[in-house]
């Protein structure tokens, strides 16, 4: 099964991706992981990507596509894969289609996790992370027993910079500007599957598995 995961920041893609990967026994592939692994291994593509990242620049589309293509050609992808974080734009989607076609493959489904913008902001802004052990809490949905203190290790909880409201709003706006057009792109191809991401985690996963089996 060859799948693609769409959804704005805070939609719960990471959580669902892990569950989908285990359920269908396919690798969860994120561009961030690909970059880190190639840089760690000092591959030619990894060194090229790092030059852009060190300058604070976006890695060009053609290089991202080459990195993804290289990953998809590895043995563990023969039975399928779950792409997360790529493609982000229509040109990247076109390039992915081209590369898959060259490999005699196509995407089976593009899973779009839908969450209202206000709920996304509420979810992100309320997150708190332990400075010591990294455990995550939420002041509304999963509060610690003692305010500001980690239940697991007693460490101090903090709000990450990228969870501050101004940053969160900007990230969501960038998503809707750059990535949301992909929803129509995959709908036109007849492979889009919309899932209500405002339900609890298990209900969202059940919706995804039912949709894939249907």
Catalytic residues: 13, 88, 127, 160, 171
The order of strands in the sheet holding 136-138 is: 136-138, 127-130, 157-158
Which residue has 């010591």 as its token pair? 132
Residue pair 29/80 in contact (Cβ under 8 Å)? The answer is no
Q: How many CA atoms lie within 13 A of 110 on its CB side?
A: 26
Distance of CA 131 to CAs 36, 150, 152, 157, 160, Å? Answer: 23, 9, 12, 6, 10
The phi, psi pair for 205, rounded to 5°, reads -65, -40
Contact (CB, 8 A) for 133 and 150: yes
| d(C-alpha 183, C-alpha 172), whole Å | 15
Give the helix, strand, coil percentages of the chain, each rounded to 5. Answer: 50, 15, 35
- 112 phi/psi in degrees, rounded to 5: -110, 110
| Distance between CA atoms of residues 84 and 144, nearest Å | 30
| SS3 (DSSP) at 116 | coil
């Amino acid at each position: 099964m060859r799948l693609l995961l769409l959804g704005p920041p805070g939609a719960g893609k990471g959580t669902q991706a892990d569950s989908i990967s285990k359920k269908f026994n396919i690798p969860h592939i994120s561009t961030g992981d690909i970059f880190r692994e190639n840089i760690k291994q000092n591959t030619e593509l990894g060194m090229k990507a790092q030059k852009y990242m060190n300058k604070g620049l976006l890695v060009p589309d053609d290089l991202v596509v080459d990195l993804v293509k290289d990953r998809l050609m590895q043995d563990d992808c023969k039975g399928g894969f779950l792409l997360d974080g790529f493609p982000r734009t229509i040109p990247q989607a076109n390039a992915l289609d081209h590369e898959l076609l060259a490999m005699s493959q196509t995407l089976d489904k593009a899973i779009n996790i839908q969450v209202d913008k206000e709920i996304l902001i509420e979810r992100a802004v309320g997150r708190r992370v332990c400075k010591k052990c990294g455990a995550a809490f939420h002041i509304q949905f999963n509060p610690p027993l003692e305010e500001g203190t980690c239940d697991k290790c007693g460490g101090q909880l903090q709000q990450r910079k990228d969870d501050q409201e101004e940053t969160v709003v900007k990230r969501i706006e960038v998503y809707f500007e750059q990535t949301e057009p992909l929803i129509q792109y995959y709908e036109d191809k007849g492979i889009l599957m919309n899932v209500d991401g405002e339900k609890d985690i298990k209900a969202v996963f059940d919706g995804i598995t039912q949709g894939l089996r249907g």
